[in-house]
Structure 1
Amino acid sequence: MDPVTTTQVITETTVDAVPLDFSMWGLFLRADLVVKLVMLGLLFASVWSWAIIFDKWWRFARVERRADQFERIFWSGRSLDELYQEMGHRPQHPLSALFIAAMREWRRSQDVVASSFVGLKERVDKVMQVTISREMMNLESRLLFLATVGSVAPFIGLFGTVWGIMNSFQSIAISRDTNLAVVAPGIAEALFATALGLVAAIPAVVAYNRFSNQSSRIGQRMESFADEFSAILSRQLDERG
């Protein structure tokens, strides 16, 4: 055998014998620039989604806990004016914000004449509706990002997969070798991009559905409280009339 050919065979055998690194870091390092950008984007989306998930989980839990405490105090029979003074005009959750806004408008109009009672009730109801809208916007902030990640991330991962498979076929065309060792690295990188897309999307979808449900419950709770509080104010107006 020709010495050059022998040396070439030995070299190829040695290279083939070197195991490829199929760890996540190894797949990232070998990936094409486009696939790397896809992976980095999905990683950022996943990290930011988890930050939102933990923040919303803590916030919704706190809101529901404080709302329970507030309703127990509110329905304990204490004076509305006393409760308003005790809360110090600093709402700590949506129900207290709703109560303070309504009481503030009520107290501003304490000296109105009887002919303006209907207008007073309408103003209080309007203030409560505006407060509900504002508090719901605060509760639902950044949920749109979770919905976007949940719907878009799989397709971004699929784009990285298609791009990686295209690179694999290009490797086959250049080397003219259909050996699995030629295409395996590219296919592994492509599938890794798909996995990252699913890792980013699945928690975002689950969290969005859960927080949307909790937000709807809190919104219904605020609407019910506004109706009940409006009825209380209406009775007081009737007594004053």
Structure 2
Amino acid sequence: MDQAVNAANLGAAAGDLSMWALFMHASVVVKLVMIGLVTCSVIVWAIIFDKFTTVRRVNRQANDFEERFWAGGSLDDLYESDGAKPVHPMAAVFGAAMGEWRRSSRITGIDLVHGGVQDRVNRAMAITITREMDRLNRWIIFLATIGPVAPFIGLFGTVWGIMHAFGSIAAMHNTNLSVVAPGISEALFATAIGLVTAIPAVIAYNVISNSMSVFEDRLDAFGTEFAAILSRQSEERGA
């Protein structure tokens, strides 16, 4: 009975090889594979758009902050305006270091270069950088997962579809190309969707991961420079 139905579907699809017809005449399992892959593709593109927008935003915010930081103004004023309630990663690193330095100096009454205060400042910045990068890298693992997996999911749909297509062809006792082509096309359509889903995910993962690594290096460099500034100011204070 199922083979007869599939055979009828093949016959109906013989003259229509549009994407919608290929989907509609596919078996239930292949349809589920296609729907799953299309859903993953939508999520992939949403993540790509979000991450590229985020990378541009945090770099622009970091540029603006560094301009104010290197303008030579008061660090205390900059802390009150940006560091106390940071809204971007570089301000968060600055706020963590500045807050720890101020608390340590106030509580211990010692300068930055003694009593392990500099170590606490460095740890505060390192923890903040890790936390901010974890937040920025959220959902990137989805791209890393979908990239290599999606083609195999599509291939599974293709194998399943070909099995049913050959079963239907056998039921029709006809190997004419016009009969064979629709069923094979429906099956291969799943692999095509898998590749369309995987390729952007792999490319985007590599590009975004590289951008995130560059930004993390930028935060590390800023933290190192800021720690040196705090150390120099403390030495001048103690002189």
In the aligned structure 2, how far is the partner of 1:189 from the partner of 1:46? 19
Letter of the 2:154 partner, please give it: G
Partner of 2:109: 113
Partner of 1:51: 46
> Cα deviations across residues 190-228 of structure 1 (Å, max 9, x unaligned)?
111111001111111111111101100010001101111
In the aligned structure 2, how far is the partner of 1:118 from the partner of 1:223? 23
Q: 1:43 to 1:16 in 2, by over 3 A?
A: closer
Deviation of the 1:233 alpha carbon: 1.2
Task: Give the alignment of 1:1-241 within 5 angstroms.
Answer: 20-87=15-82, 89-111=84-106, 112-114=108-110, 117-241=114-238
Question: Which secondary structure state, in structure 2, belongs to the residue aligned with residue 166 of structure 1?
Answer: helix
Letter of the 2:105 partner, please give it: Q
In the aligned structure 1, how far is the partner of 2:81 from the partner of 2:135? 24
Check the 8 A contact 1:164/1:187 in 2, yes or no. Answer: yes
> Cα deviations across residues 137-159 of structure 1 (Å, max 9, x unaligned)?
01111000011111100111111
- Which structure has the bigger radius of gyration? 1
> Cα deviations across residues 146-192 of structure 1 (Å, max 9, x unaligned)?
11111100111111111111112212322222112222121111111
Q: 1:181 to 1:221 in 2, by over 3 A?
A: same
Bigger mean CA deviation after superposition, 166-175 or 108-117? 108-117
Q: 1:46 to 1:158 in 2, by over 3 A?
A: same
> Cα deviations across residues 104-126 of structure 1 (Å, max 9, x unaligned)?
11111223233883311111111
Deviation of the 1:21 alpha carbon: 2.2
Partner of 2:5: none
Partner of 1:3: none
Deviation of the 1:76 alpha carbon: 1.1
Check the 8 A contact 1:161/1:190 in 2, yes or no. Answer: yes
The percent identity for this pair of structures is: 57
What is the root-mean-square deviation of aligned Cα atoms in Å?
A: 1.9
How many pairs does the alignment contain? Answer: 227
Letter of the 2:194 partner, please give it: G
Check the 8 A contact 1:171/1:183 in 2, yes or no. Answer: no
Bigger mean CA deviation after superposition, 88-97 or 213-222? 88-97
In the aligned structure 1, how far is the partner of 2:167 from the partner of 2:204? 40
TM-score (structure 2 length as normaliser):
0.89
Check the 8 A contact 1:84/1:103 in 2, yes or no. Answer: yes
Letter of the 2:131 partner, please give it: R
Check the 8 A contact 1:63/1:93 in 2, yes or no. Answer: yes
In the aligned structure 2, how far is the partner of 1:17 from the partner of 1:87? 66
In the aligned structure 2, how far is the partner of 1:157 from the partner of 1:201? 10
TM-score (structure 1 length as normaliser):
0.89
Deviation of the 1:16 alpha carbon: 6.9
Deviation of the 1:22 alpha carbon: 1.4
Q: 1:16 to 1:212 in 2, by over 3 A?
A: closer
Deviation of the 1:17 alpha carbon: 9.7
